[in-house]
Amino acid sequence: MTESQKTILKLLILFGVPLSGAGIDIFIPSLPSMSTALGVTKSAVSLTIPIYLLAYGLAQPVFGTLADSFGRRLPLIFGTGLFVLGSLIASGAETLEVLLFARVLQGIGVSGPAVLTKASLTDAFEGEERMRMANTMTIAWSVGPVMSPVLGGYLQEYYGWNSNFQFLTLYSSLLFLAVLLWWPETAPDRVPLRPKAVLTSYRRVLFHREFYLSVALLGLLYSVMIVFNVLGPFLIQKGLGFTPSEFGRVVLWLGLAWFLGNLSNKRWVRSFPRAQIIRTGLISMLSLAFLMLGIALVTPLGFWSLIIPTFLLFIIGGTVFPNIWGRVLSIFPDAAGTASALMGSLMILGVSVVSAAAGFLSADTAVHLSLTYVFLLATALSTFLKLDRS
């Protein structure tokens, strides 16, 4: 691959990566209004998040298999096109059932960009350049949480919740055209599509200790962000009386926290081993979660006592996450499609379970949110200690 092709690929990856996060973050300021407009409960409308994640997680191994057998480009075109269709249906949905169906299509479709961007990264880059690109990729991914809620909050206030999905239709359509016109084929070899060979490849990846522990760690860290997306709109808008656009600006700062963590990691990795960064980060996050729980137990729901600890959690999480992400991508360079698909699938399936459970938690105080943070981060630290000993 020439340098000009690599440059084009980098730009396309960076354009496509935010789509999976934007598929959640852009409409979270609208959740209370969607509940009212569709005549359903908080728990029911919150299902739009886990059902998207469930479809997203289940479809990724399929796209990984297709990627290793048919190359990266064709499955990517199909997945992006399916996301466009799902966004279009969601933008006109008048019932929760139609909206949930559209979210399934979006979740399946976004698996294409999610899997193929990581696989193409592994194809085109090696060694430290791959690690740097993985870090840049996580920075690009954090653009979704940074910008989408702000945009979604304003769209909600001025045009209603459907406009969030109209924007996703436009963005994904532009990505579809860009992929169709310029995405280079990066797959070095093609693996024949034979069920026995596919199962053998899956077993090889799934039973690799470093792989499944690292993926579990990624899922636990990502769940910290998703749990706030589920409970935050109700805590801040209904509990504290903020408007959707004000909530969007709050989430902007939290997204910036994750983004700043990604950026700061570039400096930390030049001075400290990656394992030390991960260990210190997880211990710090767990300590913050306990502090947040203690405050929530003895004081009423307050804006700063909710946001400051969450902001710090997101900064540290953004520092830790790319170190684990790059480590997983480097384990199976000869089966990048399958490995990246299973990584995304297992991570997202775990997150979908957490987000579904979070939808049933009380959003009257920050106690349940804090307890969930403690549970997730204690489990993450335990998982890392097992990984560090392997």
Q: What is the pLDDT of residue 8?
A: 80
Give yes or no for residue 39 having a pLDDT over 90.
no
End-to-end CA gap in the chain: 36
Q: What is the pLDDT of residue 85?
A: 96
Written as one string, the DSSP assignment of 289-310 is HHHHHHHHHHS---HHHHHHHH
- Would you say the C-alpha torsion 171, 7, 133, 125 has a positive or negative sign? positive
Residues 6+ apart with CB under 8 A from 147: 18, 252, 255
Taking alpha carbons only, the member of 290, 354, 284 closest to residue 313 is 284
Q: pLDDT-derived band of residue 89, with 50, 70 and 90 as boundaries?
A: very high
Percent of the chain with pLDDT over 70: 92
Structure tokens that stand for 16 in this block? 């496509």
Structure tokens that stand for 250 in this block? 């709050």
Residues 6+ apart with CB under 8 A from 276: none
The gap from C-alpha 340 to its chain's centroid, in whole angstroms, comes to: 14
Exposed, middle or buried: residue 304 (CB in 10 Å: 0-12, 13-18, 19+)?
A: exposed
**Count of domains forming the chain:** 1
pLDDT digits (tens, 9 = 90+) for 178-209: 988 888 777 666 666 677 777 777 788 878 88
Alpha carbons 285 and 283: distance in angstroms, whole number: 5
Side-chain half-sphere CA neighbours of 14 within 13 A: 11
Structural domain that includes position 368? 3-184+192-389
Give yes or no for residue 359 having a pLDDT over 90.
no
Residues 6+ apart with CB under 8 A from 321: 138, 218, 221, 222, 261, 262
Q: pLDDT-derived band of residue 171, with 50, 70 and 90 as boundaries?
A: very high
The gap from C-alpha 388 to its chain's centroid, in whole angstroms, comes to: 24
pLDDT digits (tens, 9 = 90+) for 137-161: 767 776 776 778 888 888 988 888 8
Alpha carbons 355 and 225: distance in angstroms, whole number: 10
Q: What is the pLDDT of residue 127?
A: 67
CATH classification at residue 51: 1.20.1250.20
Q: Once rounded to an integer, what is the mean pLDDT over residues 357-385?
A: 91
Alpha carbons 283 and 262: distance in angstroms, whole number: 18
Whether residue 206 contacts residue 348, with contact meaning beta carbons closer than 8 Å, is answered with no
Q: Once rounded to an integer, what is the mean pLDDT over residues 269-297?
A: 92
Alpha carbons 384 and 357: distance in angstroms, whole number: 24
Highest mean pLDDT pick, 19-33, 220-234, 294-308: 294-308
Q: For residue 331, which phi and psi values (nearest 5 degrees)? A: -75, -40
Q: Once rounded to an integer, what is the mean pLDDT over residues 308-316?
A: 94
Q: pLDDT-derived band of residue 108, with 50, 70 and 90 as boundaries?
A: very high
Alpha carbon of 246 to those of 8, 30, 51, 289, 390: distances in Å? 37, 12, 27, 24, 46
Angle at 286 between CA 262 and CA 323, to 5 degrees: 30
- Collapsing DSSP to helix, strand or coil, 18 comes out as helix
Side-chain half-sphere CA neighbours of 356 within 13 A: 11
Mean pLDDT score of the chain: 85
Taking alpha carbons only, the member of 97, 93, 94, 66 closest to residue 79 is 66
- Collapsing DSSP to helix, strand or coil, 365 comes out as coil
Alpha carbons 177 and 74: distance in angstroms, whole number: 13
Q: pLDDT-derived band of residue 322, with 50, 70 and 90 as boundaries?
A: confident
H runs (alpha helix) in the chain: 3-16, 18-25, 31-38, 42-46, 48-70, 73-91, 96-124, 127-141, 143-159, 162-182, 195-206, 209-233, 244-268, 274-298, 303-329, 336-358, 367-389
Written as one string, the DSSP assignment of 97-133 is HHHHHHHHHHHHHHHHHHHHHHHHHHHH--HHHHHHH
